[in-house]
Amino acid sequence: MSDSTPHGMHEGPAVGQDEWVARHGERSELRKGAFGALERRLRSVPWWAWLVLFLAGFSLLPVVEQGGYVREVAFSTVLYMLLALGLNVVVGWGGLLDLGYVAFYGIGAYAYALLDSPHYGIHLPVFVSVPAIAVIGAIVGLLLGLPSWRLTGDYLAIVTLFFLQLFQTITTNWQNVTGGPFGILNIDPFGAFGVNVQPEHGGVFAVAYLYIALGFFAVVFVALRFLNLSRTGRAWRSLREDPLAAEAMGMPVNRLKLLSFSFGAAVAALTGTLYAALYANVFPLTFYFVLLITVYTMVILGGSGSQAGVVAGAVIISPLLEMLRDASKSRVLFFLTLVVSLAVLSRRSRATAAMALSTLVFGFVVHAVCGGVHSSWIAGEHAGGLGGFVAHWVVVPAHLARWITPVSYIGVIAAALVCTMLRGRARLVALVPTLYLAAFVWENVMLSKPEPARYIVLGVILIGLMILRPNGLLGERRVEII
Amino acid sequence: MKKAIAFALAVLATAAVASSAQGSRTVAVSANAGYSCSKTITIPFVTPITGGAGFLGTEQVSWAKYAIKTLAPSLGLKIKLVVGDTPVEQGPTPATAVAQKYIGDPSVLGLLGPSTSGDVAATAKVFYAAHLAHISPSATRTDFTQGPASQREEYPTFFRDVPGDYIQGPSDANYMIKTLHVKKVVIMDFQEPYSLGLAAAVNTVLTKAGVSTIRLSAPNTTTDYSAYVTKVPSDADIVFFPTQKPGDANTFAQQLIEQGKKAKVFGGDGSDDSTQFKQPGSYVSNFAPDITGIKADAGIISGWKKDNPGKSVGSFGPPSYGAVQILMNAIKLACNQGHGTATRQSVLANMKKVSIKNWILGGSFKWSTKSNDPLNAKFYIFQIQSNGSYKLVG
Amino acid sequence: MDQFIQLTIDALTLGSVYALIALGYTLVYGVLKLLNFAHGDVFMVGSFAGYGTFQVLGGANPKVPLWLFLSLVTLAGMAVCAGLGVVIERFAYRPLRDAPRIAPLISALGVSFFLSNSMQLLFGATPRNYDTFDIHEAVLYTSGFDIGDVHMPLLRVITILAAFVLMIVLWFLVNKTRTGKAMRATSYDREAASMMGIDIDKVIVFTFVLGSALAGAAGVFFALRVPTTVSIGFVAGLKGFTAAVIGGIGSIPGAMAGGLILGFAESYTQGYISTQWSDLFVFSLLIAFMIFRPQGLLGRADIRKV
């Protein structure tokens, strides 16, 4: 962000070429040595090979792990991957902020629920209903996209948000059709030629659905991949980079925007059918703001615009949210993240390593002092994990006074914000108590309330990414000329 | 930088997978898989402890904890309570996710909840398929156990130790008709399952008795009810307000006074919270009597208060205590039957054999023979007094 | 007739709160061209800050005279929100000022999500009721004056008047002071303004202070009458934004008018058409409005020079 004007230029760029752009390739030059060779080798592997590898890896998961829970999480991860791919078309390729995206997911699920359930007694064959629903999704997306003929970014965002609100109002109120808040129950599972694929065996998640979902994913991934390489895909990119220039070049800007809406909506609706067929019930509240933010975080984290990126985003966030539900896993996750990121940063500078070490010492000192003052200060419950390390490092009082929660939580936010304002040595010194305080808050405040804690983590990821790495983990840094 | 990130991610992912796999070595648990009773048995409680209905779950969990602490040793069981949080704002999705988690855990032989009717509707089917008995201390929707066959969503694995809306609706309506002699009643609903079911049940009885009723429907996100208060006719006697947000019932009662309407607010079990709903003259119905008035419970109450300083006894907690008691007794029976090992199937089979002499809600507890409901349970009606306390009136 | 008067009173109460929220959106949008999605959650934090002050000052039995009591509660809400606004601007939006337009929007979504969940973590989701009713035996509800058969309670008179006083103060600040002039200049052309020696950062911070303080006041006025929860921010923000758009985003009188119009639309649809479907009517109306007149009632059409 801040290094837009590199110093120490040796030679000027070619005539008509921006300096910064010209040096872009230089900056991203590959490494030399063994790692470089490996990387070049890896880069030459075609995308479809990666895809096959990824699918194969995913397919093995239920073989390794027999529990229904893991399969369920894997299945919902695939659903998120599909949703992220669809949203990527609108946000990443079309460059439009669509806040009504999850409504299409809901439309798909509800449409399947109406076409294949005892609700109306209609049981369309899956081969008919699923493609039909994808088309329905595309059409509704087209209709919602119509405002984008007239509206620019922010207004469009709000119109789509209203659309989500409308979807909620209609599904909750139109009881005769949608079942209202009672939802629609007993939806048919997928099936063909009279054989139904039951979603569970003895209450345990049926593995077949995971493979069906992976099949959907593969088809959607490949189709979108080709779409992106097509004329339309190139047009989208030019549209996103500069809508004005694109229009001046004679591109049908409005039609392109509509198209991206419609493709995104179709993918979401398709995913909705999967959701309905597996969970066998739909309720309005499933398709709401929390889900929207979750999918957005996946797309942004992975790198909007990059298909592999958004899939990676889903693969990271979905299990992450699942693990944060559970106090012991959530604890492990926190300390692992801390240790790994410190270790990675320490490879670069000795000062960071010193900081990490002093944090460790700082913790033991604080713990000893607190234990010395009063034994109840460190007598809180420690639910195992990390070999009792946490028990001797983080202060966990037996009884939290009421003021501690808000003071420590707001304190850690304030400390973190102060750290961002400091530079150099001062920052490293300030980081020591900040990290310890963060561990204290995580152990004492966040772990006891997993639901808000999970979403606080999402919020922080969104804000932090936008500021530090708007291109996400795997997205290409955009080369901009201003 | 990208490489550093990729490296960090790879390390994290491996470590995370390793740690989570270690934490939950789960395999498909068959209904007939034996589990040794001398090992620690997990009892999960599926209830909202955060979100708008968090007050309900927090209270329930504190009582369940107390019940396990005091009752498990005498039954010779080692029990661990875990909580699956299901905030109502997200609909039933969290409940379906945690259901899979518990079904996959061999140390789970039966569970508590789900607490809300919406979550029961979404999960009862998978619990049934896993032969996992679950007992809810607060899901009151009628069609889980009663009503016309076409509307029923009945699964033999679902139990509840409180009566459903099939009793609450009529008893509220009859109280209005017989004791309050109402002529005109406004019935609100909030476009969520709980209030719709209860409102319909009350409406049926009132209309049959010739009382004129007015239905008003408000979105569940409504915060300001002024316009609804305006629509209450000045000659209406009662506004039936089956909300799950007690504070809203209080505001509504205040706004009725603000606009000079004489109608009184009548809330269901969802609005039974004396810290939030305290406008004098209003009515509340609940499935539990005020247990502070039951002599046999004095020991339990003082013990619970010691563990939960500063908290007052609500009406959602005691039935949870009872639910834990029933479930643990069923597990005990199954253990005895299986000579030290219990299966999900055997716990399920023993659920209905449990009866409890000194029931926390007064009297004794027996199952109905026709459905998985308590026998002879009734609803109690309270009126809020000028000092904010709830007085039993019917 | 009585019903009409009653609904009009409701509409005014509701509308003045919407207008205060809308002003925050409009101010920020005018200066930064940023849709501050977190604004609704600032409003929510304001209602909680007011709640805390309310309890500290004695709750239903105020330790200070009633007028001072209500002013202190409102001021506390405004002060906390103003501070919060500055922090949000400094750390979540300022680093993104020159980023592509979608970036601050997503950051704003993140802030909104972060704020509402943090509040839930700290204070739980239990609704908070100010106990306004119980002050001096319901004096704020029972006193006041009558219009025909309809009672206009003191509390509503106070909140409506206070909201209008705040709007007048704002109008004065923006139109009659140097800083206000700088704000208008920045909103017209940020780059040109900075070349004229205007400290853009200062102006933006000032804008956030103003907007957030108004949201804080709105939060308190709202929560004086109905319970507040950590999740009210989303809907309140949506309504406030809608009001700003109806009036023409960027226009201060527009936001006031928009707030009142929305209040009337909501109140009358609930009163005369349907309570169940009022959201549907209001939102459909808005979508239509935005499609056919995106510049709003009092806004000017956005003509871009390239």
pLDDT, tens digit, 9 for 90 and up, residues A161-172: 888 988 988 898
How far apart are alpha carbons B151 and A394 in whole angstroms?
A: 54
Considering only CA atoms, which of A310, A270, A232, A233 is closest in space to residue A141?
A270
Residues of chain A numbered 236-265 and touching chain C (CB < 8 Å): 244
Across C22-42, average pLDDT: 90
Is pLDDT larger for residue A158 or for residue A287? Answer: A287
Question: Is the pLDDT assigned to residue A63 strictly greater than 90?
Answer: no
B231 interaction partners in chain C (CB closer than 8 Å): 3, 270-271, 275
Helix (H, G, I), strand (E, B) or coil at B133: strand
Q: Pick the closest to residue C11 from C266, C273, C270, C274 (CA basis).
A: C266
Pairing of strands B283-286, B341-342: unpaired
> Which DSSP category does A92 fall into?
I
Nearest partner of C270 among B247, B219, A171, judged by Cα: B219
- At residue A17, the pLDDT reads 53
Q: How many CB atoms lie within 10 A of CB C303?
A: 6
Kindly report the backbone phi and psi dihedral angles of residue C146, in degrees, each rounded to the nearest multiple of 5, phi listed first.
-110, 135
- Report chain B residues whose CB lies below 8 A from the CB of A286: 90-93
Token output for A289: 């703001």
Per the rule left: phi > 0, alpha: psi between -120 and 50, beta: everything else, B332 is: alpha
The predicted model gives A461-475 an average pLDDT of: 83
pLDDT recorded at residue B287: 80
Is C181:C236 a contact under the CB 8 Å cutoff?
Answer: no
Residue whose C-alpha is closest to residue A107's, from A258, A269, A275: A269
Q: Which residue has the higher pLDDT, B21 or A126?
A: A126
Tokens 């806004």 locate to C299
Highest mean pLDDT among A21-30, A193-202, C94-103, C258-267: C258-267
- The pLDDT tens digits for C271-302 are 888 777 777 777 777 777 777 777 777 776 65
Contacts of C196 (CB under 8 A, 6+ apart): C185
Q: Nearest-CA residue of chain B relative to A322?
A: B97
Instruction: Using the structure block, give the residue that is written with the tokens 């706004």.
Output: B255
Is 90 exceeded by the pLDDT of residue C43?
Answer: yes
| Nearest-CA distance B335 → chain A (Å) | 22
Q: Is C118 on the interface with A (CB under 8 A)?
A: yes
Q: Which of B310, B280, B265, B294 is nearest to B360 (CA)?
A: B294
Q: Which chain C positions have a beta carbon within 8 Å of B227's beta carbon?
A: 7, 10, 266-267, 270-271, 275
CA distance B230 to chain C (A): 7
- Residue C121 carries which DSSP code? H
Counting residues of chain C whose pLDDT is more than 70, the rounded percentage is 98
- Whether cis (ω within 30° of 0) applies to the bond prior to B114 is yes
- Nearest partner of A172 among A295, A294, A287, judged by Cα: A287
User: Does A332 have pLDDT greater than 70?
Assistant: yes
Token readout for C291 is: 């499609």
For residue A393, the distance in angstroms to the closest alpha carbon of chain B comes to 20
Quick one: DSSP state of residue C95?
G
Angle at A351 between CA A350 and CA A353, to 5 degrees: 65
**What is the spatial distance between Cα A135 and Cα A137, in angstroms, rounded to a whole number?**
5
Of A380-394, C32-46, C150-164, C285-299, where does mean pLDDT reach its minimum? A380-394
Alpha helices in chain C (DSSP H): 2-32, 39-56, 66-88, 102-123, 139-142, 154-176, 178-188, 190-195, 200-223, 232-247, 252-268, 278-292
A101-115 vs A126-145: helix crossing angle, rounded to 10: 150
Q: Which residues of C touch B280 (CB under 8 A)?
A: none
Give the per-residue pLDDT at A477.
58
Question: d(Cα A467, Cα A465) in Å, to the nearest integer?
Answer: 5
Q: Does the beta carbon of A95 lie under 8 angstroms from any beta carbon of chain C?
A: yes
Cβ–Cβ under 8 Å, residues A296 and A66: no
Q: pLDDT tens-digit profile of B298-312?
A: 899 999 988 887 777
| pLDDT of residue A276 exceeding 70 | yes
> b/e for A192-215, b at 16 or more Cβ within 10 A?
eeeeebebbebbbbbbbbbbbbbe
Q: What average pLDDT does range A151-178 have in this prediction?
A: 83
Say how many C-beta atoms besides its own lie within 10 A of residue C177's C-beta: 11
Q: Phi-psi bin for C197: left (phi > 0), alpha (psi -120 to 50), beta?
A: left
Half-sphere exposure of A416 (CA within 13 A, CB side): 17
Residue A12 predicted with pLDDT over 60: no
Using 50 as the pLDDT threshold, list the residues of chain B that sit under it. Answer: 21-27
Per-residue three-class SS string for A290-334:
HHHHHHHHHHHHHCCCCHHHHHHHHHHHHHHHHHHCCHHHHHHHH
Which pLDDT score, from 0 to 100, does residue C173 have?
92
Does C46 have pLDDT greater than 90? yes
Cα separation, B317 vs B305, in Å, equals: 12
- Find out whether C230 and C44 touch, Cβ atoms under 8 Å: yes
Contact check, Cβ <8 Å, B54/C266: no
What pLDDT, on the 0 to 100 scale, is given for residue A381?
A: 64
Q: A299 and A85 in contact (C-beta within 8 Å)?
A: no
Average pLDDT over residues A79-89: 95
DSSP codes joined into one string, A66-80: --HHHHHHHHHHHHH
pLDDT tens digits, C170-222:
999 999 999 999 998 998 888 899 899 999 999 999 999 999 999 999 999 99
The pair of three-digit structure tokens given for residue A458, joined into one six-digit string: 């999402």
**Strand-pair partners of B44:** B82
What lies within 8 Å, CB to CB, of A455 at 6+ separation is A290, A293, C113, C117
Q: What is the mean pLDDT of residues A345-356?
A: 82
Question: pLDDT per residue over A217-264, tens digit each?
Answer: 999 999 999 998 898 888 888 877 777 788 888 888 878 888 888 999
d(CA A403, CA B185): 46
Confidence (pLDDT) at A7: 45
Helix, strand, coil proportions of chain A in percent (round to 5)?
70, 5, 25
CA dihedral B58, B59, B61, B62 (to 10 degrees): 110
Quick one: average pLDDT of C97-104? 81
Q: Which ranges constitute the DSSP H helices of chain B? A: 2-23, 54-75, 93-103, 117-129, 165-174, 193-208, 226-231, 246-258, 298-307, 317-337, 344-351
What is the reported pLDDT for A29?
A: 52
Distance from CA of A34 to the nearest CA of B (A): 14
Tell me how far CA of residue C106 lies from CA of A8, A470, C103, in angstroms: 35, 10, 5
- State yes or no: pLDDT of A416 exceeds 80: yes
Integer-rounded Cα radius of gyration of chain C: 19
| Model pLDDT, residue B379 | 86
Assess whether pLDDT exceeds 60 at residue A150.
Answer: yes
> How many angstroms separate the Cα of B158 from the Cα of each of B129, B132, B165, C151, C239?
12, 9, 16, 51, 42
Residue of C nearest to B258 (CA): C141
> What local confidence, expressed as pLDDT, does residue A32 receive?
61
pLDDT of amino acid A19: 60
User: In which element (H, E) is residue B78 found?
Assistant: none
Report d(CA A450, CA A472) in Å as an integer: 26
CA B141 → CA A398, A426, B116, B352, B373, distances in Å? Answer: 40, 60, 9, 20, 12
Q: Do C95 and A1 touch (CB under 8 A)?
A: yes
pLDDT of residue A1: 39
- Quick one: closest CA in A to C237, which residue? A158
pLDDT in tens, A298-325: 998 888 888 888 999 999 999 898 888 8
Lowest mean pLDDT among A151-165, A405-419, B30-44, C76-90: A151-165
Contact predicate B288/B378, CB 8 Å:
no
Per-residue pLDDT, averaged over A458-477, amounts to 82
Q: What is the pLDDT of residues B61-100, one digit of tens each?
A: 999 999 999 999 999 999 999 998 888 777 788 888 888 8
Question: Rounded mean pLDDT of chain A?
Answer: 82
Per the document, the length of chain A is 482
For residue C60, count CB atoms less than 10 angstroms from its CB and return exposed for 0-12, middle for 13-18, buried for 19 or more. Answer: middle
If you measure CA to CA, which chain A residue comes closest to B219? A169
Residue A269 has pLDDT above 90, yes or no: yes
Structure tokens at A93: 């390729």
Structural contact between residues A469 and A309, judged by C-beta atoms closer than 8 angstroms = no
Phi-psi region of B363 (alpha: psi -120 to 50; beta: other; left: phi over 0): left
Per-position DSSP letters for C269-305, written without gaps between them? IIIII-STTHHHHHHHHHHHHHHH-TTTTTPPP-PPP
Whole-number Å distance between alpha carbons of A29 and B2: 12
**ipTM for this model:** 0.87
Task: Report pLDDT for A473.
Answer: 78
Point out which residues pair with C151 in neighbouring strands. Answer: C146
Cα dist from A144 to A148, A207, A220, A223, B163, whole Å: 8, 36, 22, 23, 46
- Provide the shortest C-alpha distance from residue B351 to chain A (in Å): 19
Q: Which chains sit next to B, with 3 or more Cβ pairs under 8 A?
A: A, C
